[in-house]
Structure 1
């Protein structure tokens, strides 16, 4: 297949490129094509913008992973706007290009996040979960809801759309773990706030496999929770990580300190969801790392 990938130089995107490149022709949209060519290889075609494209007739599939890191900076008004527009605008553009195509891509896979569900306490949530008005008012929901709507505009008889609400992606060389590891290796890790908030996680290998599964199976469409079938509490997560690293993980991070340090962005750490991938399981996807202990064992081997 000839596949267009946005956000190709990111933590997930770079792994996806490595997995797909032996079997497919890839066009990669990145902010810095020259730097990305050094990182990802010169064999791919690179784009700095979609503006040069009038349609997507030449592509069989599009995988959209682009977006300003949601935890990269404190959530000022400007940063919130950057988080939103970096997702909404490119997804809107892709849908418009698909709709302008005479021979559109047969598959459009677009990222979203479990933040769509907002804070939901300790109940388990699948793709059919109905949100309250309170949850719909949260920033993370607003970001994801519009992001997903922009992707859904591409749905037609010729193009199927899969939206992946991604959880915490676990890998040793990027993402959230890269930021957590230094403290844990020093024995300074521990639960955050109450420690009871849900952490919907997925091993990096399973996320890449899930995206490839959607790409290769034409019956896949609609909303998928991109997380392992066994979400855990923050307390269980930190203890499992400590055991895998053979380090203590008992120093708590109080909620008030995080709120002072991070402002509204602290909700990403203090609140959470117990999200399950019912749609992926129903469609026949099998997770290689279904529990947190196995995931950490592989990552820290």
Structure 2
């Protein structure tokens, strides 16, 4: 059964996810302020930080604060779900949007399954902020959370990005950023462009945009703060025209004109249209003999 559509602009019951400022308190929305005062329960990654946020915003939270972090959110889920059936449960993390590499998923998934209303107060996100600031081609991107901590899994992850044409955004610790960038430069190429964004929206915000080799050298001396990295998508490996004839043939069999099929396949694989056209014609003549 599909639950009815509900106006969640000013919810009184259900689960409300709320984005909190990354650093600049002025990024807090009026809806976040209202939710902090109206919520019956405030499920916070760190209750001390959530209380400090409310104090900094000058609002008085009438609800009770409960911890909801990585190691207890599964155990906390049923309790919060019961609260959400009759009141408002506000979910916040230390900074940014809940669930995006932060707690919240267990409760939201359970609420959807139980047809308890779920809505979101949008706002700050390190992911979209870094993408916008990177100055890279990020029209298509993937988000990979935190880079793997250990060298072996990290190298395997970077190998998987060699032919990834979308930009990749991820978080990294200041203690591991130098090693990650050094591995990235070695595996993805020193010239592949990237941006290291640190302390977003804070006093010492900094965006370093360069090739991975240059960024690795810069990071070797140490980098501090909260770090988000964006690496531009890679270029596809050059293909031989003869290897692409089958793809052209499949498109033609599907009703596409030969010239259009050749043009599109050549563009996708970065080969000359004339060379691919000649190879396709040769293959066609061979098949007719």
Tell me: higher relative CO, structure 1 or 2? Use CA pairs within 8 A at least 6 residues apart: 1
Quickly name the TM-score band, shorter chain normalised: 0.3 to 0.5
The structure whose Rg is larger is 2
TM-score scaled by length of structure 1: 0.34
TM-score scaled by length of structure 2: 0.35
